[in-house]
Structure 1
Amino acid sequence: METALENLSKEDLIKVISGRDEMIRSLSKDSSSKDEKIDYLESQLAMYKRMQFGQKRERFEGDPNQTMLPFQAEPAEVELQQEIIKEKIEYTRKRPNHKGRAKLPAHLPVEEIEIYPEGDLSEMVCIGKEITDELECEPAKFYIKRYIRYKYAAKDGSNVSIAELPERVIDKGIPGPSLLAMILADKYLDHLPLYRQKQRFAREKIQIPSSTIEGWTKQALEKLEPLYEQLIFDTKSKGYLQVDETPIKVLDSDKKGATHQGYYWVYHAPLDGTVLFDYSPTRGGIAAVPMLGNFKGYLQTDGYAVYEKYGKKKEVIHLACWAHARREFEKALDNDKERAEKALLMIQQLYALERNAKDDALSAERIKELRLEVSLPIINEMGKWIFEEIKNILPKSQIGKAMGYAYARWDSLSAYLYDGSLQIDNNLIENAIRPIALGRKTYLFAGSHEAAQRAAMIYSFFAICKKHEVNPFQWLKNTVRSISPINHKNLKDLYPQNYKRIIA
């Protein structure tokens, strides 16, 4: 290399040296750029690690000369703020443009507080009074109910008599029926987990271990098992059932830390207003066998394939759900607005009749007459239209899926015309399932398959309470107290739908 450089002219040598210097600067620049990029990525990685694994509060050493907290506001600013607050308080007290109070419930107890004018009233005459009502409440009151049973004996000591202790919900346990009803209602109706209920006990200086509260919950639910078994038996005998299912995550003991996807199968008897939740680890058809294996009558479901199988049985008339068919056409509005709107308008006419019949409280016979007179021609027209249009659309398009869904179930969609007591859709059972969706957001999963089934039991009765406008706490308190001593022949008297008759 050195020999070659010696043979170069002065100008060529300068060019070579300049090129080499440029190359060195370029390599140095690239290396520096790479180093900067590596440093940046490493800093980003360190930040993400802190966000994921590090403490959320970092130590920070500030300027020792910085002004110390707290800052003090200027006296003029304090005075101005107090004036603003005073005006705000006066405004909230006067409540301008108030349209009047809501009427308070008449069944609530009233605590009367009499207020007389100040000063000497001996020379004055009362000419009237003004009454102002205020709705108030007290937090849950805990107290001890103490049974004191006196013993009596004959003077010669030969015979000792003592009164019998009333039936206890939990034998030798300390919780009374009201406390157990509150725990169950808070957990399964208002979705308040047991650990939060324990915190409420602690605020009242009542220290109860978590295992004890869990044990009370389990034992109280076990008290309801005979009534639940009776509900299962009665539900199987119904001639008209609506069925749906909803998922519930369950801790799987075979897989540590993992959850299993279980399902609540829900059976609603519209004519009686009863609801049955039944838990199954699977969504397969076998899960419905205990309830639908020998079912005879009207079975109303969505388009899930398992129900289609039961609907094809000889003794079953399968009813489809117009709400599900309508949803498919709503999805198609962006795909084929003209066809989707036409279908939705015809479905809207079907629902208009149902709404008017409900508002007018028409009999089942009259509803059937109106359906045959008004709804049947609409259904026939829609059926002919779908039959013609479905040939001209892509099956995999959304409008194609909507028409295909309705076309494949046309007989089942029309079957509600058979009887005025039948529903046009499955919305009633979907309303019964809705609280489960709210609960899933709170407790996330059931502790075991057994716990999920026990929850299904209480969900059933709370759903029935809701349908019959029964106070679930009052019903549960009465039921856990009465179920043990009751004669098995009178067990049905404890159903929520019979509770109002019992207390009347």
Structure 2
Amino acid sequence: MDVATLPPEVQEYIYSIEEKADKAVRAWENRYASLEEQYKLLLLQKFGRKSEKELLEERQQFLFDSEESTPPEQDTKDSTTVIKAYQRKKPGRKPIDESIPREEVIIDIPEEEKQCACGHTLTRIGEETSEKLHVIPPKMWVERIVRPKYGCKACEGSGDEENPAVRIADVRPAIIPKSIATPSLLSFIIVNKFIDHLPYYRQEKRFERIGIHISRQNMSNWQQAAFEKIEPLIERLKEHIHSGPVINMGETPVQVMGESEKKNTSKSYMWLARGGPPKKPAVLYSYRETRGSRHITDILNRFSGYLQTDGYEAYKTALAGNADIIHVGCMAHARRKFHEAAKASKKAGSAQEAINKIKKLYAIEGTLHGKELSPEQFVAERKALVEPVLEQFKEWLEKRSLQVPPSLLLGKAIRYTLNEWPKLVRYLDSPYLTPDNNVAERAIRPFVVGRKNWLFAGSPKGAESSCAMYSLIETAKQNSVNPNDYLIKVFELAPSARTTEDWKALLPWNIDP
């Protein structure tokens, strides 16, 4: 039947039905594509590579994609490719560190073989050397402290309290009084747990194998006692973080037992703040029962400067009306969403194109950091190079946002990036900012790795003391100080610290392990 022969009102009705049917079909197609992407992404997250580095196969897929997945745009204005200098690594085993003690063993031929067939004595003309590494299990010893007592046999004392009849030397201040734990033992246990991720029950078994009996409960109690002694140092660390121009923040879940009015299976959160003067960075872990914005306000109390985070909405809520803090976004989180879209979608061309545009920003950043520029020169040159790239990227995002359904992973990545855009470009204003929040991500990673081993914190107090230990260890690492040596020195000097200046002297950049 020819629709054109029907009355106009019937034609209009038929066309409206067809239009609705087309919209319904497109909606179901988008829904199917979205579910297919989610399914593929879940498979990749569970079984695939988690690295965001490109694979050859991922690049090759553009050979077979069509339409939306056309190869990324090429910049025809500049065909010059800058390649960083590369030094090929020498193959073979790396030499053993010269700081490790050497014991020379000479393997010589017998004396009778040092005579030549002609009758002359052989002369040493050289030598061949090789090195082998030996290991001695952890060496432990007991320090037996003897304090002689002295008394007067002629009298029972003068009654003067300053000159008693029986006299003995004072006990030296200890991080844990009346305990067998020394600074070195305590540091050894803390480093094993918070750097090597060995829970206390595993350490208990290790000690038993060498004939020492230290229960996991004792180790936990020592950790708590040490934390209570060094709390003023953690406060100085927080003050130091607030003294810098930038704070990077992040958070990750943690399971804590024994929280009031909460199930043991519920989530709590470990918050991280990294800041301080650029050449003396510090890291502070903070345990909180929730992920609420009030914790951000508490951690940033009286701070003024730049705050760089991911796109979590609680940061926006916490900073509302705060003119002293400028919120900066994270380009790595935007890139990650495009990377997920590229991995999960059949047509990954547009996602890869966005990734390539973001790569240009990092290439410029790397080039500028390789130059010797003053802070003012760095900011000016970075703006001149980066702003055109950002402008082109934003135009591309706005154009693609009209073409890609928002339910698809690519649509979500585009929408996230556009929503975060004002914060993403603020890094241009300060030489102390980078395009991303990766310094916080890297600082929180040791905690995430450790969590896979010890699984949960036994109590809120245990979570707080763990925060303190992680804070000291990661701050030492950020300042190229050996964490074990640093903790030994802190545990040695903390019992004698009294004033604020005493505690400041125990910060990693002020101490000589």
TM-score of the superposition, structure 2-length normalised?
Answer: 0.73
- Structure 2 residue aligned with 1:106: 98
2:366 matches 1:355 = yes
2:213 matches 1:207 = yes
Q: Which moved more, 1:145-154 or 1:392-401?
A: 145-154
| Alpha-carbon separation, structure 2, partners of 1:126 and 1:244 | 65
Residue 178 of structure 1 and its aligned partner are, at CA, apart by: 0.7
Q: Indicate how the Cα distance of structure 1 residues 124 and 381 shifts in structure 2: closer, same or farther if over 3 A, else same.
A: closer
Residue 490 of structure 1 and its aligned partner are, at CA, apart by: 2.7
- Structure 2 residue aligned with 1:263: 269
Q: How many residues were matched structurally?
A: 404
**Deviations 1:151-190 (CA, angstroms, capped at 9, x unpaired):** 4567967765544433222111112111111111111211
- Structure 2 residue aligned with 1:315: 324
| Alpha-carbon separation, structure 2, partners of 1:257 and 1:320 | 34
| Alpha-carbon separation, structure 2, partners of 1:101 and 1:400 | 49
2:187 matches 1:178 = no
2:495 matches 1:495 = no
5 Å matches for 1:158-173?
162-173=168-179
Which secondary structure does the structure 2 equivalent of 1:299 belong to? Answer: strand
2:455 matches 1:463 = no
Which secondary structure does the structure 2 equivalent of 1:251 belong to? Answer: coil
Q: Indicate how the Cα distance of structure 1 residues 389 and 212 shifts in structure 2: closer, same or farther if over 3 A, else same.
A: closer
| Alpha-carbon separation, structure 2, partners of 1:260 and 1:161 | 57
Letter in 1 for 2:307: L
5 Å matches for 1:169-248?
169-248=175-254
Choose from 339, 363, 380 the match for 1:330: 339
- The answer on whether the counterparts of 1:335 and 1:398 sit within 8 Å (CA) in structure 2 is no
- The answer on whether the counterparts of 2:296 and 2:318 sit within 8 Å (CA) in structure 1 is no
**Deviations 1:442-485 (CA, angstroms, capped at 9, x unpaired):** 11111011111111111111111222222111111111111111
- Structure 2 residue aligned with 1:88: none
- Structure 2 residue aligned with 1:297: 305
Q: Indicate how the Cα distance of structure 1 residues 357 and 382 shifts in structure 2: closer, same or farther if over 3 A, else same.
A: same
- The answer on whether the counterparts of 1:292 and 1:310 sit within 8 Å (CA) in structure 2 is no
**Deviations 1:264-296 (CA, angstroms, capped at 9, x unpaired):** 110011623211100000011122221125432
Residue 110 of structure 1 and its aligned partner are, at CA, apart by: 2.1
- Structure 1 residue aligned with 2:75: none
- Structure 2 residue aligned with 1:373: 384
- The answer on whether the counterparts of 1:299 and 1:311 sit within 8 Å (CA) in structure 2 is no
| Alpha-carbon separation, structure 1, partners of 2:457 and 2:261 | 15
Which secondary structure does the structure 1 equivalent of 2:266 belong to? Answer: strand
Which secondary structure does the structure 2 equivalent of 1:167 belong to? Answer: coil
Choose from 250, 257, 260 the match for 2:256: 250
- Structure 1 residue aligned with 2:296: 288
- Structure 2 residue aligned with 1:146: 144
| Alpha-carbon separation, structure 2, partners of 1:315 and 1:438 | 35
Choose from 133, 136, 142 the match for 1:135: 133
**Deviations 1:427-447 (CA, angstroms, capped at 9, x unpaired):** 111001111121111111110
Letter in 2 for 1:321: C
- The answer on whether the counterparts of 1:201 and 1:208 sit within 8 Å (CA) in structure 2 is yes
- The answer on whether the counterparts of 1:366 and 1:420 sit within 8 Å (CA) in structure 2 is no
Residue 301 of structure 1 and its aligned partner are, at CA, apart by: 0.7
Q: Indicate how the Cα distance of structure 1 residues 253 and 328 shifts in structure 2: closer, same or farther if over 3 A, else same.
A: closer
- The answer on whether the counterparts of 2:191 and 2:483 sit within 8 Å (CA) in structure 1 is yes
Q: Indicate how the Cα distance of structure 1 residues 324 and 441 shifts in structure 2: closer, same or farther if over 3 A, else same.
A: same
CA RMSD in angstroms, aligned pairs only: 2.6
Q: Indicate how the Cα distance of structure 1 residues 109 and 200 shifts in structure 2: closer, same or farther if over 3 A, else same.
A: same
| Alpha-carbon separation, structure 2, partners of 1:287 and 1:245 | 11
**Deviations 1:244-279 (CA, angstroms, capped at 9, x unpaired):** 100011113568983331101100116232111000
- The answer on whether the counterparts of 1:336 and 1:399 sit within 8 Å (CA) in structure 2 is no
Which secondary structure does the structure 1 equivalent of 2:197 belong to? Answer: coil
Q: Indicate how the Cα distance of structure 1 residues 388 and 129 shifts in structure 2: closer, same or farther if over 3 A, else same.
A: closer
| Alpha-carbon separation, structure 1, partners of 2:353 and 2:91 | 44
| Alpha-carbon separation, structure 1, partners of 2:373 and 2:132 | 41
| Alpha-carbon separation, structure 2, partners of 1:181 and 1:305 | 39
- The answer on whether the counterparts of 1:310 and 1:316 sit within 8 Å (CA) in structure 2 is no
Unaligned runs of 5+ in 1: 1-97
| Alpha-carbon separation, structure 2, partners of 1:216 and 1:295 | 33
**Deviations 1:287-315 (CA, angstroms, capped at 9, x unpaired):** 22211254321111111000122344322
- Structure 1 residue aligned with 2:461: 450
| Alpha-carbon separation, structure 2, partners of 1:234 and 1:361 | 27
Q: Indicate how the Cα distance of structure 1 residues 343 and 124 shifts in structure 2: closer, same or farther if over 3 A, else same.
A: closer
**Deviations 1:336-395 (CA, angstroms, capped at 9, x unpaired):** 534323322211100101122334465433321221111011111222232333233322
- The answer on whether the counterparts of 1:328 and 1:402 sit within 8 Å (CA) in structure 2 is yes
Letter in 1 for 2:386: S
**Deviations 1:14-33 (CA, angstroms, capped at 9, x unpaired):** xxxxxxxxxxxxxxxxxxxx
- The answer on whether the counterparts of 1:372 and 1:417 sit within 8 Å (CA) in structure 2 is yes
Q: Indicate how the Cα distance of structure 1 residues 186 and 117 shifts in structure 2: closer, same or farther if over 3 A, else same.
A: same
Letter in 2 for 1:287: H
- Structure 1 residue aligned with 2:55: none
| Alpha-carbon separation, structure 2, partners of 1:453 and 1:210 | 18
Larger Rg: 1
